[in-house]
Amino acid sequence: MSRTSSQLPTACLAMMLLTAAEPALAITYNCLPVQLVDEVQHIRVECARPGQGEGEPLDGTQPIYVFAVPHSQADLARRFEFLAQTAIAAGMVLQFQYTSGALAAGCNAADCRKPWAIGLLSPGRDVRIPFVAWPASTIETVTQGSWRVFGPFGISEHRRLVVTMAGSGNADLYVRRDLPPTTTDATCKVTNSTSTGNLTINGPKLDAKGVPYYIGVLGVASVSAYQLNVTIPLKAAGAVDDSCTSP
pLDDT tens for the 247 residues of the chain, in order = 233 333 344 344 444 545 444 555 567 777 878 788 888 888 989 887 664 444 556 677 777 888 999 988 888 888 888 888 888 877 778 888 887 777 888 888 888 888 888 887 765 443 333 445 667 668 899 999 999 988 777 777 777 888 999 999 999 999 998 888 999 999 999 999 999 999 999 887 765 556 778 899 999 999 999 999 888 777 888 888 888 888 7
Q: Could you say which architecture CATH assigns to the domain 140-245?
A: Sandwich (2.60)
Q: What are phi and psi of 185, to 5 degrees?
A: -140, 100
Q: List Cβ neighbours of 230 (8 Å cut-off, separation of 6 or more).
A: 82, 134, 135, 150, 153, 161, 162, 163, 215
For the chain, the domains span: 10-123, 140-245
Which pTM value belongs to this model? 0.55
For residues 158 and 155, give the distance between their C-alpha atoms in angstroms, rounded to a whole number. 8
Query: Quick one: which of 117, 93, 83 has its CA closest to 6?
Result: 93
Separation of alpha carbons 57 and 32, rounded Å:
12
Separation between Cα atoms, residue 65 and residue 183, nearest integer Å = 44
User: What is the C-alpha radius of gyration for the chain, rounded to an integer number of angstroms?
Assistant: 19
Closest among 52, 2, 62, 53 to 30, alpha carbons compared: 2
Fold of 10-123: OB fold (Dihydrolipoamide Acetyltransferase, E2P) (2.40.50)
* Enclosing H/E stretch for 120: strand 115-123
